A = this chain, B = another copy of it.
Amino acid sequence: MDDDTGALPSRTDFSSWYNEILWRAEIMDVRYPVKGVYVWYPFGFGIRKRTYGLLRELLDRDHEETLFPLLIPENEFMKEAEHIKGFEDEVYWVTHGGLTPLDVKLALRPTSETAIYPMYALWVRSHADLPLKYYQVVNTFRYETKHTRPLIRLREITSFKEAHTVHATWEEAAAQVEDAVARYCEFYDRLGIPVLVSKRPSWDKFPGADYTIAVDCVMPDGRTLQIGTVHHLGDHFSKTFSITYEDRDGEQKLAFQTCYGISERSIAALISLHGDDRGLVLPPEVAPTQVVVVPIIVGKRGEEVLAAARHLTETLAGAGIRVRLDDRDLRPGAKYYHWEMRGVPVRLELGPRDLDAGVATAVLRTGGKSAVPLDGVADGVRGLLETAMATLRETAAEHLAGQVRTAGSIDELAKALEGGVAVVNWCGEKACADRVEEDTGGAVLGVEVRSALVTTAEGTCVACGRKGTTALIGRSY
């Protein structure tokens, strides 16, 4: 908390902006001496804690939280052929305990299907045990060989929320997929993050899944970020791990499964979509500090102002608002810089003139200045926090609307992908998806797009001219 007032790069230079805001706003320290793993600063962790608190709140309605081991024995890990093929290049292996080589190598979970499902085989006995809906929040590991980036592409994903459900029928599992998608949309809506939901092409689904529904957001530079996936696993894993149940007629049947996950990419989206050239802009619900009180001490009435600022702070804290008094010996400008960088939604300035008028001067991080009466100030501040959230949600939605463009040809598509995503028609063939990617650098994100900005219709494939349907194309992180 020193008097640093260095400027961020403009968010239009997104990559530089992102790297710099991570340390200026004290989200993550990238100087840890292992590539691709990072340290959460307490402030960043405070955002993470509240964001995952919200995610837990949404899941706890009908899921239960649990915790499975990190270490997966090689033999279990290798059981599902398609699944392991999807991960074999990326798995960290523990080979030694102390100086002793292990009999069985242990994988650090890249995801937990092969840790959880042998236990589900023991836990699921009868139709009465179903549906079973558990989740955990854990660290997972991927030996990424691509360029790593904090919160986005990591070797230790510190905050993977993964849910794993078991159902009696394929249809019930499909309904759970829809339920999970809806829950994820609610989560991102609460964070003011507009998303594009689509069904991934078959070659891009989760290894071992029947199909994958993905949640993407569009970053300020137009590249998409996958911030949630929901997989229908069919009975692939239940076959491999013998997850069966006795149905009402006493018959043993294979169960059907789903799994779905959200990682700290949710925090990357939160930072990137709402931030601006002055720093973070945080939704009040996850802001570690919702209100900062800055006493304006000029002239003789310093003590009086400070006492009133303390009283104001206590009043707001008593009303359950996360408030801080900044009474440091710094000029107000330095304080404004500090708290704007950290995305505090509401700043309350209190000076002699405010006191005389019985108000505080409120400045919203999302823009706008107003006088809030000190009488009933908690209600006034709650109103401002709601206004801030509404503004933040609208701004992000408008930005996305400008980033989703329709393209009827490869040339239009290439142009649309400069700073955005494209809605095209596509025949569904991999060859055409490959051609699109070669010519434009954009990949097929998915079909059956769920967004008010995209209407699905028949049309001519942008690559081959044959009959196609609406697909979303993007350059992704």
Contacts and interface: CB of A to CB of B under 8 A. Distances in A.
A146 interface: no
Given A93-B96, A96-B95, A143-B98, A119 B29 contact: yes
A94 B4 CA distance: 40
Contact of A39 (B65, B69, B91): B69
B97 A143 contact: yes
A216 interface: no
A469 interface: no
A86 to B, nearest CB: 12
Contacts of A141: 70
Contact of A33 (B33, B76, B90): B76
Contact of A118 (B33, B46, B108, B156): B33
Given A100-B143, A108-B94, A143-B100, A65 B89 contact: no
A98 B91 CA distance: 5
A122 to B, nearest CB: 6
A139 B70 contact: yes
A330 interface: no
A468 to B, nearest CB: 37
A31 B119 contact: yes
A122 B66 contact: no
A391 interface: no
Interface string A59-83: 0000011111111110010000000
A17 interface: no
Interface residues of A, number: 54
Contacts of A337: none
A298 interface: no
A125 to B, nearest CB: 9
A156 B69 contact: yes
A155 B97 CA distance: 10
A156 B97 CA distance: 12
A452 interface: no
A474 to B, nearest CB: 27
A93 B96 CA distance: 5
Interface-centre pick from A40, A41, A48, A94 (highest chain B CB count, 10 A): A94
Given A29-B122, A34-B106, A42 B69 contact: no
B90 A93 contact: no
A456 interface: no
A92 B88 contact: no
B33 A73 contact: yes
Nearest to A69: B37
B95 A90 contact: no
Nearest to A63: B42
Interface string A19-52: 0000000000101111001111110011011000
A45 B137 CA distance: 12
A1 to B, nearest CB: 9
Nearest to A96: B93
Contacts of A122: 29, 31
A233 B313 CA distance: 38
Contacts of A48: 67
A119 B39 CA distance: 9
A111 interface: no
A88 B73 CA distance: 23
Contacts of A406: none
A134 B42 contact: yes
Given A29-B122, A94-B92, A69 B34 contact: yes
Contacts of A134: 42
Interface in A85-129: 88-100, 104, 106, 108, 115, 118-119, 122-123
Given A90-B98, A91-B98, 13 more contacts: A29-B119, A31-B119, A32-B115, A34-B73, A37-B71, A39-B66, A39-B68, A69-B158, A70-B141, A89-B99, A92-B106, A94-B95, A100-B143
Interface of A: 29, 31-34, 37-42, 45-46, 48-49, 64-73, 76, 88-100, 104, 106, 108, 115, 118-119, 122-123, 134, 139, 141, 143, 155-156, 158
13 contacts: A29-B119, A31-B119, A33-B118, A34-B69, A34-B71, A37-B71, A39-B119, A40-B66, A40-B68, A45-B64, A69-B158, A92-B94, A139-B139
